[in-house]
Amino acid sequence: MKTIMVVDDERDIRESLEGVLSDEGYNVVAPSSAEEGLAEILKNPPDLVLLDIWMPVMDGVDVLTEIKGKYPNLPVIMISGHGSIETAVKTTKLGAYDFIEKPLSIDKVVLTIEHALEQKRLLEENIALREKARENYEIIGNSEAIQKLREDIQKVSPTNSWVLITGENGTGKEIVAKNIHLFSERFAKPFVAVNCAAIPEELIESELFGHEKGAFTGAVSRKKGKFDMADGGTLFLDEIGDMSLKTQAKVLRILQERNFERVGGTEKVSVDVRVVAATNKDLEEEMRKGNFREDLYYRLNVIPFYIPPVRERAEDIALFVDYYFREFSLDTGKEVPTIDPDAMKALINFDWPGNVREIKNLVERLVIMATSGVITLDDLPHYFKGTQHVHDQSLFVPTLKEAKRDFEKEFILRKLQEFSGNMAKTAEAIGIERSHLYRKVKSYGIDLKGLERD
């Protein structure tokens, strides 16, 4: 049963409202003074408050301010026999749900209470859904870099500023983008993600801006684009460094003017979208090469976020392993395994070129394939068994950069051997794009012919 508090110094008003609302199925408490009502609210908040404005000693405006400071989501309906537009506007700005003048219309009071309680229910439901979503997109890690990342997300999310996220493939750029959305005021609106590298050049304009019927062969009806779909919410442009200069120019115009035309159309479509972009490329280098527009870069790079690779935060690896052990054990119905010290040491010493995505893939495989409840070094892929040796040998390389390069080359070679030179399967296993793997194979001079099976 919902509890409604009626705070009014007029006895007749209190008794009248108490009788009507009790008949409507509410539990009613009716203190006779503002001071008594406020003390009760702070001790045991009701579901809704009906609050008179003009009362001796402490008036309703002061009580409203105190309530909203402590319980911002508690609906308060103001009532007064001496109302004015100024008073109504003032109390609404302070957070009142509505303002009702005396003499009270009982029907209006009951209807307003129903609407206020329904709005509160929806708000609480949205908050619960947001908390659930945050759990699903938790940012894992206790390293200094990740702690700062979480703090920055809390600072930036409530604003409408555009964000540019940089970092290697598999570091979790989309997870960060979703957290920015979930902690923002736009959380109840759409989060729309676009992988700019995955859409063919001839289709990306239609994907982003939509098209009109007949705009091109196959356009049999009007289609909304991603900007349209994200109206009121957040648009995540992933791998924006792979977007063509032509499309970059159109995106820039939308960001400046906040409207666009669909492909084949002339009508202006206005949108309210927060843009969060991400890339694994060095955009400053891409600008020097003429592959990325400077004006778009500075438009997007209002708030820069950098996600360090796993190899720079080895202290987080054990947390990732534990998190994904629990996640995949729950999914498969298996007991959560443990891992012995030697196996964990091998995982911590590994360079993880595929970053978090590679850890997740490996842990899923271990949960499914392990024959006992304890993961040992024998359960790990064969290339982990040489991890310590590779790291020891790297001590004789002149520089850290060269050591990392030698290790990465050795790792990629072993993975290619595992998959008989199959580039697609190798790229998927280590969590990087196939085009990125091709570039690395070429730069390291790895001969694929000798790896293929007859």
Percent of the chain with pLDDT over 90: 50
Length of the chain: 454
pLDDT digits 0-9 by tens, 170-196: 999 999 999 999 999 898 899 999 998
What per-residue confidence (pLDDT) applies to 239?
A: 93
Half-sphere exposure of 451 (CA within 13 A, CB side): 17
Give yes or no: residues 154 and 284 share one domain: yes
Residue 448 has pLDDT above 80, yes or no: no
Q: What is the mean pLDDT of residues 62-83?
A: 88
Give yes or no: residues 123 and 204 share one domain: no
What per-residue confidence (pLDDT) applies to 453?
A: 47
How far apart (Å, rounded) are the C-alpha atoms in residues 350 and 198?
A: 29
Half-sphere exposure of 440 (CA within 13 A, CB side): 23
Give yes or no: residues 31 and 147 share one domain: no
C-beta separation of 100 from 78 below 8 A: yes
End-to-end CA distance of the chain: 75
Give yes or no: residues 282 and 168 share one domain: yes
Give yes or no: residues 246 and 173 share one domain: yes
pLDDT digits 0-9 by tens, 83-120: 667 888 888 889 999 999 888 899 999 999 999 999 99
What per-residue confidence (pLDDT) applies to 450?
A: 60
C-beta separation of 34 from 60 below 8 A: yes
pLDDT digits 0-9 by tens, 411-443: 888 888 878 888 888 888 888 888 888 888 888
What per-residue confidence (pLDDT) applies to 181?
A: 94
How far apart (Å, rounded) are the C-alpha atoms in residues 130 and 183?
A: 8
The last residue of one of the domains, among 258, 285, 308, is 308
C-beta separation of 77 from 33 below 8 A: no
What per-residue confidence (pLDDT) applies to 147?
A: 94
Give yes or no: residues 368 and 337 share one domain: yes
Give alpha helix (H) positions in 231-340.
245-257, 283-289, 294-300, 317-332
Q: Which residue has the higher pLDDT, 134 or 4?
A: 4
Q: What is the mean pLDDT of residues 310-331?
A: 92
Q: What is the mean pLDDT of residues 316-333?
A: 92
Q: Is 94 exposed, middle or buried (0-12, 13-18, 19+ CB in 10 A)?
A: middle
Spatial CB neighbours of 308, under 8 Å, sequence gap ≥ 6 = 143, 145, 167, 171
Q: What is the mean pLDDT of residues 53-65?
A: 87
Q: pLDDT-derived band of residue 220, with 50, 70 and 90 as boundaries?
A: confident
Q: Is 273 exposed, middle or buried (0-12, 13-18, 19+ CB in 10 A)?
A: buried
Coil, strand or helix at 331: helix
Give yes or no: residues 162 and 301 share one domain: yes
Give yes or no: residues 348 and 423 share one domain: yes
- The angle subtended at Cα 385 by Cα 381 and Cα 390, nearest 5°, is 120
Mean pLDDT of all residues belonging to the chain:
87
What per-residue confidence (pLDDT) applies to 454?
A: 37
Sign of CA dihedral 97, 103, 109, 112: negative
Residue 394 has pLDDT above 50, yes or no: no
Q: Is 82 exposed, middle or buried (0-12, 13-18, 19+ CB in 10 A)?
A: exposed
Q: Which residue has the higher pLDDT, 82 or 13?
A: 13
Residue 312 has pLDDT above 50, yes or no: yes
Give yes or no: residues 211 and 190 share one domain: yes
pLDDT digits 0-9 by tens, 158-171: 999 999 999 999 99
Complete DSSP assignment for 72-135: TTS-EEEEESS--HHHHHHHHHTT-SEEEESSP-HHHHHHHHHHHHHHHHHHHHHHHHHHHHHH
What per-residue confidence (pLDDT) applies to 393?
A: 42
Q: How many domains does the chain have?
A: 3
Supply the CATH number for residue 253's domain.
3.40.50.300
In sequence order, what are the beta bridge partners of 6? Answer: 50
What per-residue confidence (pLDDT) applies to 397?
A: 44
Coil, strand or helix at 275: strand
Q: Is 168 exposed, middle or buried (0-12, 13-18, 19+ CB in 10 A)?
A: buried
pLDDT digits 0-9 by tens, 221-264: 888 889 999 999 999 999 999 999 988 998 898 888 888 888 88
In sequence order, what are the beta bridge partners of 238? Answer: 195
Q: What is the mean pLDDT of residues 132-151?
A: 85
What per-residue confidence (pLDDT) applies to 133?
A: 59
Residue 386 has pLDDT above 80, yes or no: no
Q: How far is CA 228 from CA 136, 193, 234, 241, 447, in A?
A: 26, 12, 11, 22, 47
Give yes or no: residues 304 and 332 share one domain: no
The last residue of one of the domains, among 128, 145, 171, is 128
How far apart (Å, rounded) are the C-alpha atoms in residues 262 and 241?
A: 23
Coil, strand or helix at 269: strand
What per-residue confidence (pLDDT) applies to 436?
A: 82
Q: Which two tokens stand for residue 375?
A: 């993961």
Residue ranges making up the domain that contains 367: 311-451
406: nearest Cα among 380, 440, 439? 440
Give yes or no: residues 156 and 123 share one domain: no
Q: What is the mean pLDDT of residues 7-31?
A: 92
Residue 391 has pLDDT above 50, yes or no: no
How far apart (Å, rounded) are the C-alpha atoms in residues 219 and 199?
A: 17
Give yes or no: residues 426 and 301 share one domain: no
Residue 396 has pLDDT above 70, yes or no: no
Supply the CATH number for residue 35's domain.
3.40.50.2300
Q: pLDDT-derived band of residue 138, with 50, 70 and 90 as boundaries?
A: confident
What per-residue confidence (pLDDT) applies to 392?
A: 42
pLDDT digits 0-9 by tens, 144-157: 999 999 999 999 99
The last residue of one of the domains, among 81, 101, 128, is 128
Query: Which amino acid is residue 73, in one-letter code?
Result: N
Complete DSSP assignment for 390-431: HHHHHTTSSSHHHHHHHHHHHHHHHHHHHTTT-HHHHHHHHT
Region of poorest pLDDT, from 65-74, 212-221, 372-381? 212-221
Q: Which residue has the higher pLDDT, 219 or 290?
A: 290
Q: What is the mean pLDDT of residues 306-329?
A: 93
